[in-house]
Amino acid sequence: MSTDTQIVQLDEKAIKQVAVLLSKEEKDPSDFGLRLAIKGGGCSGLSYDLRFDQKADKDLTQEFSNPDQAASIKNINVFIDPKSAIYLKGMSVEFDDGLMGKGFVFRNPNATNTCGCGESFSVF
């Protein structure tokens, strides 16, 4: 799958980690990708939904090359439904693997308000 249009950015660590997890869960990367979606709720109003899923009809797709050249999975796909895209556009996903690492961290340059848990935000 190729990229329809740029909605989100993933940093290199995030891409690698997604590929590792896809491998661990034995999901075929040509069939499964990372779904990013928005749902209501959370301390700041909106929350992210993150899971492996197959592409749905109207999904916007972005393909990312795995910077880990030794890995078996060379590319990963990100799927975003068009309605979530209006909230997610411009977002970047990073992977924090440090000592106090939080795992996947969502940075939204549009977010004017985030909560301490880092999982909830508002975009206006």
Partner 1 sequence: MTLLVKGKDAENFISRQASNSLKDSNYAAFLKPKGQIVSLCFIEKSNGFFEISCQNQELLKEHLEKFIIVDDVEIEISGKGINPKVKLEGFVEDQSIIKLVETYPDILEKYVDFSKGCFPGQEVLSKFKNIGLKKREERSKKFTDEALEIFAQAKNNQEDLDPAIDLLKKALKENPRNEDAYESLGVMLAKQEKFPAAIAVMQQLEMINPKNQMALMNLSIFYMKMGDKETAEEYKAKGTVLKFEEALKQ
Residues making contact with partner 1 (CB under 8 A): 4-5, 7, 39-41, 45-46, 58, 60, 82-83, 85-87, 89-90, 112-113, 122-124
Closest separation between CB of residue 87 and partner 1, Å?
Answer: 7
Closest separation between CB of residue 76 and partner 1, Å?
Answer: 20
Nearer to partner 1 (CB atom), residue 24 or residue 51: 51
Nearer to partner 1 (CB atom), residue 22 or residue 88: 88
Instruction: Count Cβ atoms within 10 A of the Cβ of residue 11 and give its class: 0-12 exposed, 13-18 middle, 19 or more buried.
Output: middle
Closest separation between CB of residue 50 and partner 1, Å?
Answer: 18
Closest separation between CB of residue 18 and partner 1, Å?
Answer: 21
CA distances from 96 to 2, 22, 92, 108 (A): 27, 18, 13, 15
With b meaning 16 or more CB within 10 Å and e meaning fewer, what string describes 45-59? ebbbeeebbeeeeeb
- Spatial neighbors of 83 by CB under 8 A, at least 6 apart, are 38
Nearer to partner 1 (CB atom), residue 45 or residue 118: 45
Nearer to partner 1 (CB atom), residue 24 or residue 58: 58
